[in-house]
Chains A and B, each alone.
Chain A
Amino acid sequence: LYCSLPNPRNVHFESINMKNVLHWSAPEGTGDGVLYKVKYSVYGVGKWIRKPECRNINRTWCDLSSETSDYEEQYYGSVKAFLNGMCSNWMETTRFNPLTDTKIDPPMVSVSSTEKSISIVLTAPEKWKTSPEEESISLLQVYPGLRYNVSVLNKKTKKRWWFSISNNTLVVPWLEPGTAYCVSAQIYVTTPLLHSGFSKEYCIATLKDRTADETATIVFG
């Protein structure tokens, strides 16, 4: 093979909750028909390892999550392009550290209410599983210093309160009955410094104050 094909560009890992996917852009000026091969290596270990499932593929990504699941190691990915009997050079990523280079999704938020309180339960995302049989690992186990920022918005007064908690439940008592509250939460880890985005808002209304209704009925009949 004659390696004069332009190289794949911007070869890099995109990682969310440690789902580690190698991405790249097609070589400059090449139309359709380009195929790719992928390999990876563990930093500090001698050999490159081919990824058979990403051999002669025409897409520009390759999921290397299972190959890079040990987050105590660091990795390189590499891609080579082929077209009409020509090939490119192998193009490598920079060193990828799953622990510090992953992005974290917001927590799952579930909210319930009583007459005067709302209860919030937060669930941190799990580390990406490459197969259903794999053991589930919460990111809480990966990042022991993980905490949550929780915002509670009173839709009537438009006032927003902030809570910073390390456990995953929060009860806000003594609220106004019959009032809508919207909750949003974010994960943050102080070291290594990682922040998720905020979850979407989950709104719930506190129940109406039955005693007030009954009193009104008695008084006004």
Chain B
Amino acid sequence: EDVLLPAPQNISILSTNMKHFLTWSPVIIQGETVRYSVEFQGEYEREYTNESWIPICECSLITATVCNITEDISATVAYNLRVKADVGARRSEWGTLKGFFNRITTSLTPPLMKVIAEGYHLLMELEDMGPAFQFCVLYWKKGQESRMQQKVVKEVSSVVHLDIMEAGSDYCVKAQTYVEAINRSSSFSHTQCVRAQDGRSMWL
């Protein structure tokens, strides 16, 4: 079997909010369609199964130069990843990611949120970021930052009820995500403030 193809280069990981993608530069062979295959190896495979590699079938013989490896990077251990190129019977050596990838390094962005005041009720809408995510929500009456309240939101449904507001007061809210699997949080979102309806009963 002759090894004519150059191994894929610039292999790297893009990982944001626990979604992990392997990317690499295309191997250019004039007039040919190059196909790529990806394999992964967890710390378990390195230590207990003679450094065996496991193919990702969704990324076997693909033409794209990106592979979603989220489903397989499902433990907080160091993973190895590699890619090879194929054109017909010709294939390349494996190109291996430099260094390991551990999902603990994923970048966490503040959650998208919208704060709503309905009568005396403080509510918020939160983006559903998947089962791995919880939200730490901080809210306070404007001017009373020292009496900040916290609520952990685990199941995101459309409009989450936070608390009751005092009539006519301004309330501010900010939130961050928390991923228990890696025990890390994002930075806080921008603060949003709303005003509770004033005291005169709007039903008069």
Interface residues of A (CB under 8 A from B): 147, 149, 151-152, 157, 159-164, 172-178, 188, 190, 209, 211-212, 215
Contact = CB atoms under 8 A, between A and B. Distances in A.
Given A161-B161, A212-B201, 16 more contacts: A157-B118, A159-B159, A160-B158, A160-B159, A161-B121, A161-B159, A162-B159, A163-B161, A164-B153, A164-B157, A172-B161, A174-B164, A177-B203, A190-B154, A212-B204, A215-B204
B70 to A, nearest CB: 19
B157 A174 contact: no
B203 A161 contact: no
Contacts of A209: 201, 203
Contacts of A176: 119, 203
Nearest to A170: B161
24 contacts: A149-B155, A149-B157, A152-B161, A159-B159, A160-B158, A161-B118, A161-B121, A161-B159, A161-B161, A162-B158, A162-B159, A162-B160, A162-B161, A163-B160, A164-B153, A164-B154, A174-B119, A174-B164, A175-B119, A178-B203, A188-B155, A190-B154, A209-B201, A209-B203
Nearest to A161: B161
Contacts of A211: 201
B174 to A, nearest CB: 20
Interface in B131-153: 153
A45 to B, nearest CB: 32
Contacts of A162: 157-161
A165 B183 CA distance: 23
Nearest to B154: A164
B121 A174 contact: yes
B123 A161 contact: yes
Query: Nearest 3 CB-CB pairs, A to B?
Result: A174-B120, A162-B157, A161-B161
Contacts of A175: 119
A151 B201 CA distance: 25
Contacts of A177: 203
Interface in B44-65: none
Interface string B165-183: 0000000000000000000
A212 B203 contact: yes
Nearest to B157: A162
Nearest to A193: B131
Contacts of A147: 155
Contacts of B161: 152, 161-163, 172
Given A212-B203, A212-B204, A215-B204, A173 B159 contact: no
A175 to B, nearest CB: 7
Contacts of B153: 164
A97 B161 CA distance: 36
A112 B158 CA distance: 25
A149 B153 CA distance: 11
A211 B159 CA distance: 31
A83 B203 CA distance: 74
B118 A159 contact: yes
B130 to A, nearest CB: 14
A209 B159 CA distance: 27
A172 B119 CA distance: 12
Query: Which of A152, A160, A162 is the most central at the interface, judged by chain B CB atoms within 10 Å of its CB?
Result: A162
